[in-house]
Amino acid sequence: MVAAVCCSAFASSAVADDVIRFGAPLPLTGPLAPEGIKQQQGYDLWAEQANKAGGISIGGKKYKVEIVYADYQSNTPRAVQTSEQMITQDNINFLFGPFGSGAAKAASTISEKYKVPTIAGTASSSQVYDQGYKYLFGTFTPNDTLTTPLTQIIKSQAPDVKKVAILARNDLFPLAIAQEMEKSAKANGFEVVYFEKYAIGTLDHSATLSQMKSLGPQWIFITGYINDLLLVRKQMVDQQMKAPVVTMIAGPAYQEFIEQAGQSAENVTSASWWHPAEQYDGKDIFGSTSNFVKLFKEKYKSEPDYGQASAALCGALFQIAIERAGSLDREKVRDELAKLDMVTFFGPVKFGSNGQINSLEPPVFQIQGAKPVVLFPQAIKQGELKLGVN
């Protein structure tokens, strides 16, 4: 037993000589598995590209990238445990945050305790970053950066739209973004005629939708994940609900939503933190947005979405920070991350003093002809807003 422990300790320290280990706790099974697998694809793509180029170079020496995965089974307490285990037993050098705002916040306590720089790829809620932590960074801007531009576009381009109905999945991110939507709608002079939450795992929305329909909203705003939104959208069609504007977050950013919803996805608007149609000329390992999309398609035969892109970005940012620090010293790498101010394939990256990115302009888009068309920001706009969702 003692011998085995010694051996494994030797083995890992021997490995640590020319390899940099990144810990990635992910929900690879359980309800969040689809999201967890997407994040894994992003990390893997980055690791593959980094290793193909010889690895990460520190003072002229190349270090291979190794990602240590652990499945926390969509269970937040286990995500915290896993993160600690990675630091204390798996000897990882740096950490990626677990999926979503809730788990990322919970696990950030651990990385702060051990002073391990951590980048969270899918945590947007500002509550994650207001803890005064020094070692946590995040690549999603706060939720209001999605709803504010959306509200302004509708206000200026659809002046007849006055009444908004909001339906939110009763879950951390979907509810937070619905609340931001309510705020920005009110601030821009819309009347919020309906605001309700539905429980996780709801199998039927017919009563809710009937009630919403009776209020005659012109803008229907619904949050949830792909399964919820596919179901709600189908039941809207079933009940012959029509509105000039229908917005759904976060389904339409995924190719599979567009494929599975088919005709009913037409003219649905949405917003996300990144979009494959963006055209940034980055200084990271992926370079341009189009190069990232090309590499992703070659490896996975599908269109990348913002989750996969953000995961790949987290890796690319660590690589830059490590190379700039010229060392694996956690303190130095942390300082380099805090200092970053550069353009990447994902967009401009600069972290605020709380660690959350504050340089991105998240795109607003609409499904037109079974393709997402970017409406905002102006610089990458691809088309005009179309009214009428039937």
Partner 1 sequence: MLVAQVLINALVLGCLYACIAIGFSLVWGVLNVINLIHGSFIVLGSYLAWGLYQSLKIPPWYVLIVAAPLFFILGYLLQRLLLNRVITAPVLVTLTLTFGLDLILNNAMIYFFKADYRKLTLSPPIGSVSLFDVVVPVDRLIATASALALTLVLYLVLRRLRVGRAIVAVRLDRDAAVLMGVDVKSIYAIAFGLGAALAGCAGVLMALIFPISPLTSSTFLGKAFVVCVLGGLGSVSGALAGGLLLALVEGVGSATIGPAHATTLSFALLIVFLIVRPQGLLGRKGFE
Chain residues in the site for partner 1 (CB under 8 A)? 29, 31, 33-34, 37, 167, 170, 196-199, 201-208, 210-211, 214, 226-227, 230-231, 234-235, 237-240, 256, 260-263
As measured in angstroms, the least distance from the Cβ of 122 to partner 1 is 17
Q: Which two tokens stand for residue 348?
A: 């401009």
29 or 85: CB nearest partner 1: 29
As measured in angstroms, the least distance from the Cβ of 35 to partner 1 is 9
85 or 260: CB nearest partner 1: 260
Residue 322: which H helix or E strand, with range?
helix 306-325
Q: Which of helix, strand or coil describes residue 172?
A: helix
Give the strands of the sheet with 245-249, arranged side by side.
191-198, 163-169, 219-223, 245-249, 268-271, 364-368, 371-376
34 or 326: CB nearest partner 1: 34
Residue 289: which H helix or E strand, with range?
helix 289-300
As measured in angstroms, the least distance from the Cβ of 85 to partner 1 is 23
- As a whole number of Å, the end-to-end CA separation of the chain is 67
Query: Please, what is the Cα angle at 85 between 324 and 127, to 5 degrees?
Result: 70
Question: What is the spatial distance between Cα 348 and Cα 340, in angstroms, rounded to a whole number?
Answer: 10
19 or 33: CB nearest partner 1: 33
As measured in angstroms, the least distance from the Cβ of 38 to partner 1 is 10
Q: Which two tokens stand for residue 178?
A: 């619905």
68 or 175: CB nearest partner 1: 175
Q: Kind of pairing, strands 364-368 and 347-350?
A: unpaired
Please answer whether residues 103 and 75 qualify as being in contact, where contact means their C-beta atoms are separated by less than 8 angstroms. no
179 or 354: CB nearest partner 1: 179
204 or 384: CB nearest partner 1: 204
As measured in angstroms, the least distance from the Cβ of 147 to partner 1 is 21
As measured in angstroms, the least distance from the Cβ of 260 to partner 1 is 4
User: What is the distance of C-alpha 51 from the center of its chain?
Assistant: 24
As measured in angstroms, the least distance from the Cβ of 111 to partner 1 is 28
As measured in angstroms, the least distance from the Cβ of 153 to partner 1 is 28
Which residue bears the tokens 């894994």?
Answer: 40
As measured in angstroms, the least distance from the Cβ of 383 to partner 1 is 25
By C-alpha distance, which of 131, 130, 108, 109 is closest to 119? 108
Q: Which of helix, strand or coil describes residue 243?
A: strand
191 or 238: CB nearest partner 1: 238
Please answer whether residues 106 and 80 qualify as being in contact, where contact means their C-beta atoms are separated by less than 8 angstroms. yes
Question: What is the spatial distance between Cα 93 and Cα 335, in angstroms, rounded to a whole number?
Answer: 15
Residue 82: which H helix or E strand, with range?
helix 76-88
224 or 315: CB nearest partner 1: 224
